[in-house]
Structure 1
Amino acid sequence: MGKPVTMDELAELRAGVSGVVYARGDAGLAHEARCFNTAIVHDPDVVVGARGADDIIAAVAFAARHRLPVFVQATGHGAFAPITEGVLISTRRMGGVSVDPELRMATIGAGARWGAVVDRASRYGLTPITGSSSHVGAVGYTLGGGLGPLARTYGFTADWVRGFTVVTADGRLVRASATEHPDLFWALRGGKGGLGLVVDMDLELVPLKRVYGGGLFYDSEHIEDALRAWVDWVHSLPDTVTSSVALLRFPPIDEVPENLRGRFALHLRFAFIGDERDGERLLAPMRRAAPAFLDLIGDMSTTEIDSIHDDRDQAGPAWDRGMQLTDIDQAFVTALLSRAGAGSDVPFIAIEIRHIGAGATRGASQDTAIGGAGSPFTLVMIGVPVPELFDSVLPQSSDYIVSGILPWIADETNINFLGHVASTQQFASAWPADAFSRLIETRTAWDPEGLFAYPAGPAGGIDG
């Protein structure tokens, strides 16, 4: 614990920061520290709303002098535990994005969302290898590896990073790349946090304008046929196809579109890099497997890729738990549906399975800290947004589902998919053992006093 911060010391910090500074009890702190996950309420000693690298350097120096831990947040999508001490640095004002079309490179500010990057890149016929949501912070997502709807073709987003600008624990502004501080560069691509505060990152872009993609929705009585067909179908697909499925329980509320309201459905997500005719041919087995009551698949601009998953973009309470899977088969489908299929009473609005491998697995051969790259599937359970269920009901219900699919659960996972973390052992499972050991060594080398709090409670406070 650090020593109490006096009013004079706060005044000195405010004088050295062009952004905003709030102390606990100030009227603006709650708004500045707000999360996308509204079930989490941060109340640190100090919040600094940074406008640039100089503000971050001043905030880090202040925290070091007062022996206060440092946390960082941009959009707050990665918040799973409240921050109740230290200095929280908010980077949401650092949202600048610039593109060099000749180098096919985007320089992305710490607070930028993917939507801004996609929009700017599209002006030059380029696209970033992004996530499923354009609303998520680009930097925090990439620090965890970044696994999106084009992953089987292009791999993890972190595979495309060419450099970071970072404020280190001793207040220096350094570059991390393949030729400058390569140990830090390795750790930042997949290590997630505890290494320094990223000011911006350079991301190589892909020359891509169109994708054949979207979603098919199967009603409750056709879920089993469609899911069984998907499990067989994905094993025959080329690397140019990335797909996923989600068991969705839509609540009967006005906010849900009428054609989905109150339904239990299977949502197939599909993205193909190629022309529409070949895409239709590849998708045909899933269109034949069972009737879809909603077919939203077709040729689309890369600016519309986030419509494939159609993730929510409104803040609200959130709970999820993720893991990765070994190769799945028909026995897996039987086990999963026996506990989470039609007629089951589980408190999850979505249970999603993503097919990765291919390009993502090839990325594992690169020298990055990305965890989970060797597993062919991910599974995430998203709980009903009722905070009263977060502490016991949802963990117990997720344990019930996990116990039925244990033979298919991989030993490691990815930190971006891990969700709520219950133990240090679970946190460490986000990386292979050798990578986790190397991360510890790198964090110690760059932050020997442990100024950058990571993980926090045990894995919150790191923006995603």
Structure 2
Amino acid sequence: MTAPHHTPDLFALSEITGPVLRPGDPAYADEVTGFNLASLHTPEIAIGATGPDDIVTALRWAHATHTPVAVQATGHGANFPIEQGLLINTSRMTDVHIDPITRTATVAAGAKWSHVLAATTPHGLAGLCGTSTDAGVTGYILGGGLPVLGRAYGYAADLVRSFQVVTPDGHLRETDPQHEPELFWALRGGKGNVGVVTSLVTELLPLPRLYGGAIHCHAEHTETLLRTWTDWTRTVPDEMCSMFSVLRLPPIPQIPEPLRGGFWARVAIAWPGDPAEGEALIAPLRAAAPVAVDLAGELPYADLDSIHMEPQDPLPARECCMLLRDLDADALDTFLEQVGPGAGADHPLLVASLRHMGGALSRPSAVEDAVCSRDAGYFMESVGIMPAPPVAEAVEQATRRLYGAMAPYGTGRTMVNIHGTPGDEQDRARAWTPEVYARLRHDKSVYDPDNLLRFGHTV
């Protein structure tokens, strides 16, 4: 009889090069802790993988012992506690190889976007990273990957050429549009439901610089800036990418002056075209209300983090999102009622944002994938910091109120990477259309019939 997963024989894991840790071991806590401290992991075993062979060995053992498996690189998306089972930490696997001739990058499973940028910048090339280059490449792409320059170039998953992946049976596979195309489809937007990626190959863009940054107005100008931005989004070229945010920033050293401790309305923009044209395009935003802090200008692509200035230090966060059909007057009124100045400076949500979608984000990928957000006109997301139970409860209540109020304007779906804590099957399924969800369930039954990959946002 196969041993149950709660009494595993670790002898078969002795071939793993990286550390194999259990609760109580000195390095265990560091191994299992991710960027989002809201979810504390307590797996029975934590493996620090150093390469594909370690992952193959771990999954073969998990398959033989019926032990559930979770994967973590940076833990930015750690919004679901991992209890019992096996956690594979890929953060040691950070190799990035650039081929400047084919304009591709081969990226190991644990690499961050900052690792990719460090390798691509000398060649004047860039990958389609999101609002924080501290996030891991693989998890971001498995969820589709919504880039800062998404309206200009589409989803990061659209640029992936191939994956090396270990399926739950312990087999190392190479997949691309010609080899195991169904597996390739499921990995691009289907999250981590069919295997553990060890590396991927993605196309790069010749993009050494861009025009980007953000303008900030004091909170009393929130409504004026929001309505101006919304009208403006209906007129700009596809290549103009922008996000409106209401920011209630705490007085902590991680936030730069003069924004620290402030209550702001912000529009962040990214434009890959001529800087002078970018200046002209955002002129209506600058004229809408008095601009207190203006950080928009030409910058190296490697400085992309300066546009959204997301936290770089681990913290306990509650994130959530919703895809919106459009932003009509009623939707804007509702958003302002929930998170605008009238909701108070002490409102528990740190950030509430509306991102302009469309453009290349609305076009189908050249090779079919599982991304299901191409019909959205806008995208709403929020973040609340949860340091202690009373604050955590207030954040949760404010999140539920905001999304309940905005539901009439939504498509009914979310994006898997920013979905937040996954609920029951009906809740998790909202990240995909019913047709795509059914197909993912079929693929899950083929590649993971024992449901070993059952942690996080699963089908």
Q: Which amino acid aligns with 2:368?
A: D
The verdict on how the C-alpha distance between 1:105 and 1:258 changes in structure 2, with shifts beyond 3 A counting, is closer
- How far does residue 10 in structure 1 lie from its aligned partner after superposition? 2.0
How far apart are 1:252 and its partner, in Å?
3.1
* 8 Å CA contact retained: 2:386, 2:392: no
Q: Matches of residues 276-291 of structure 1 in structure 2 within 5 Å? A: 276-291=275-290
Deviations along 1:227-259, whole A, 9 cap, x unmatched?
Answer: 110010001010110000110001234443331
The one-letter code of the counterpart of 2:113 is W
Q: Which runs of 5+ in 2 are unaligned?
A: none
Q: RMSD between aligned alpha carbons?
A: 1.7
1:54-73 residue pairs with structure 2 within 5 A? 54-73=53-72
Q: Give the structure 2 partner of residue 370 of structure 1.
A: 371
Residue ranges of structure 1 left out of the alignment (5+ in a row): none
Give yes or no for the alignment of 1:176 onto 2:175: yes
Specify the code of the residue in structure 1 equivalent to 2:104: M
Report the counterpart of residue 190 of structure 1 in structure 2: 189
Q: Give runs of aligned pairs for residues 124-203 of structure 1, distance below 5 A.
A: 124-203=123-202
Please tell me whether the aligned partners of residues 231 and 330 of structure 1 are also in contact (alpha carbons under 8 angstroms): no
Q: Is the Cα–Cα contact under 8 Å of residues 315 and 385 in structure 2 kept in the other structure?
A: no
Aligned to 1:446: 447
**Which residue pairs with 2:401 in the alignment?**
400
Could you tell me whether the CA contact under 8 Å between 2:386 and 2:395 is conserved in 1? no
Q: Is the 8 A contact 1:163 1:176 kept in 2?
A: yes
The residue aligned with 1:413 is 414
Q: How do residues 12-411 of structure 1 correspond to structure 2 at under 5 angstroms?
A: 12-14=12-14, 16-345=15-344, 346-363=347-364, 366-389=367-390, 392-411=393-412
Is the 8 Å Cα contact of residues 39 and 387 (structure 1) preserved in structure 2?
Answer: no
Map of 1:5 onto structure 2: 7
Equivalent position amino acid for 1:108 in 2: V
| Secondary structure of the structure 2 residue equivalent to 1:102 | coil
TM-score (norm 2): 0.95
Distance in 1 (alpha carbons) for counterparts of 2:449 and 2:400: 37
Q: Where does structure 1 differ by over 4 angstroms across 4 or more consecutive aligned residues?
A: none
- TM normalised by structure 1 equals 0.94
1:101–1:255 Cα change, 3 Å:
closer
For the 8 Å contact 1:169–1:451, the answer to whether it is kept is yes
Cα distance in 1 for residues equivalent to 2:358 and 2:419 = 18
Distance 1:125 1:223, change over 3 A: same
Listed one character per residue, the Cα deviations across residues 290-343 of structure 1 (whole Å, up to 9, x for unaligned) are 111011111111111121111111001111111111110233222211221113
- Give the counterpart letter for 1:54 in structure 2: D
Amino acid at match of 1:411: G
CA distance in structure 1 between the partners assigned to 2:80 and 2:315 by the alignment: 15
- Tell me the distance in 1 between the aligned counterparts of 2:253 and 2:198: 41
**How many Å apart are 1:415 and its aligned residue?**
0.4
Percent of aligned pairs with the same amino acid: 37
- Distance in 1 (alpha carbons) for counterparts of 2:391 and 2:413: 24
Q: Distance in 2 between matches of 1:365 and 1:202?
A: 16
Deviation (angstroms), 1:432 = 0.6
Hey, what's the Cα distance between the residues in 2 that align with 1:152 and 1:256? 28
Task: Report the 3-state secondary structure (helix = DSSP H, G, I; strand = E; otherwise coil) of the residue aligned with 2:163.
Answer: strand
CA distance in 2, matches of 1:371, 1:337: 27
Q: Determine the C-alpha separation between the residues in 1 that align with 2:158 and 2:103.
A: 15
Q: 1:414 and 1:254, CA in 2 relative to 1: closer, same or farther beyond 3 A?
A: closer
Q: Which moved more, 1:198-207 or 1:391-400?
A: 391-400
**Distance (Å, rounded) in 2 between the aligned partners of 1:201 and 1:383:** 32
C-alpha displacement at 1:365, in angstroms? 6.9
